[in-house]
Amino acid sequence: MPNPHSDALVFFGATGDLAYKKIFPALQSMVRHGKLDVPVIGVAKAGWTLEQLKARALDSLRTHGGVDEVAWPKLAALLSYVDGEYGDLSTFEAIRKQLGSAQRPAHYLAIPPVLFGTVVEQLVKADCATNARIIVEKPFGHDLQSAQELNRILHTFFDESAIFRIDHYLAKNSVYNLVSFRFSNAIFEGLWNRDHIESVQITMAEDFGVQGRGAFYDATGTIRDVVQNHIFQVLSNLTMEAPARNDSESLRDEKVKVLKSIPPVTANNLVRGQFEGYLNEPGVRPSSTTETFAALRIDINSWRWQGVPFFIRAGKNLPTTCLEVMARVRRPPITDVSPESTPQNYLRIRLNPEMAVAVALSATPATGAKRQLVELVAAQHSRPAEMEAYERVLSDAMAGDATLFARQDYVEEAWRIVDPVLKQDTPVLPYAPHTWGPAHVDDIICPPGSWHNPHSGETEQVRVVQPVRPA
């Protein structure tokens, strides 16, 4: 039986930065695509009126994507606003009044986690929680203990099936389609195991710094900000087994199994770095040891992946902005040619900013010539118009589809993997902006055959195979 759709959206943090940059454009798109036709109640403590909120929303649309002359008036008609303290019961009584006849509201908490407990308790007191869903933004805690405490607070009032933890990265088309790509292409799935894959690298690079978010980033760091959530989600999609059924719980079961197979990261399998100039960023502590770069090795002790090392690298102020997976294939058991003269095959999956799937093969271009890597790009195209990540996750949450949301056990397993090393005093090494991290990172964490640097010109020849289009 399908889940009933939420019949109202209560939006806490409606005057905040996230609302301005992401949520109002997503709400307009939901209206445009016929996915939002229920009351939207903004809640904040800003001393605003409804007209001020609408003006803020309109300015948001003009700045981030444009105003749809048909969808915007419809969204404006759905909007209402409650101004008040989150600790004041009268604020929530006003929300209950604005809900009117709505019986299945979705409460979206785009607010700091420290306020979650206060808000959910007040929702219950004001009779706003019955048959409701709760949608919460990451971070889901700062470590394992705080994540467990957040889950305890949420579960005091809501069943796990009613809790939707947003990681918007999961809703990006390329990440979203990883599972489909794997299990619909037997040619790749057949080699995607420890018998054929020697090692796997995942690089998530940004060519910019903290962009004025120094205070937030200094309390977070690369491992908390992107590794234990975004990259682990990509890792799970890459390495999970096929789910038993095509439903959200079966899919999430398999992703949790991946994390359960990963031992905690140890200090000798981690390099932390900090780009030169970070300490001068506004909001950053003068003696900060927060990492802006991390390279780590993890192992997945499953039947499919035991013995295959996975290398993760992420950071800010690196040479490019991209998300790329590189899997090196084991060398063939040849006897007449030395391994040194035979370039190693690999599979490369580019997820951002463009999408590409490539296979590198060893070939001899002419008699007596040296073998070269020829990269066959099986799928490469400009990014099509796609549903924005926040539009997708908010639409799915209101529809009760939990596929793209992190379950309690997944969140706690992810923290279990990184929590011990986060509590250790590991060194933070400096690196020059727009380089691939600290100078000696390869001496500590180095995949077989070295790191693959995206756009490094590793292949000597590139052949692009155009996709076949139907006549």
Element (H, E) at 430: strand 428-431
Give the residue carrying structure tokens 């016929």: 34
Instruction: Provide the greatest CA pair distance for the chain.
Output: 83
Concatenated DSSP letters of 302-347: STTTTT-EEEEEEESS-S--EEEEEEEEPPP--SSS-GGGSPPPEE
In the numeric block, which tokens belong to residue 295?
């390279």
In the numeric block, which tokens belong to residue 465?
């195979």
- Catalytic annotation on 142? no
Q: Order of strands across the sheet with 355-363?
A: 428-431, 270-275, 293-299, 309-315, 197-205, 322-329, 346-352, 355-363, 372-381, 461-464
Q: At what angle do helices 232-239 and 248-260 cross, to 10 degrees?
A: 100
In the numeric block, which tokens belong to residue 64?
């981030």
137-150 burial code (b ≥16 CB/10 A, e <16): bbbbbbbbeebeeb
In the numeric block, which tokens belong to residue 365?
């271009």
Nearest-angstrom CA–CA distance, 324 and 348: 7
Closest CA to 346 of 177, 466, 459: 459
Find the catalytic residue in 5, 33, 168, 230.
230
In the numeric block, which tokens belong to residue 443?
């001496």
Contact 313, 202 (CB under 8 A): yes
Parallel/antiparallel/unpaired status of strands 270-275 and 8-12:
unpaired
Give the residue carrying structure tokens 């099986």: 378
Concatenated DSSP letters of 191-251: T-STTTEEEEEEEEE-SS--TT-HHHHHTTHHIIIIIIIIIHHHHHHHHPPPPSSSSHHHH
For residue 139, say if its preceding peptide bond is cis, omega within 30 degrees of 0: yes
Amino acid identity for residue 249 in this structure: E
Nearest-angstrom CA–CA distance, 178 and 350: 11
Contact 322, 312 (CB under 8 A): no
Closest CA to 328 of 304, 311, 315, 340: 311
Please identify every residue annotated as catalytic. 230
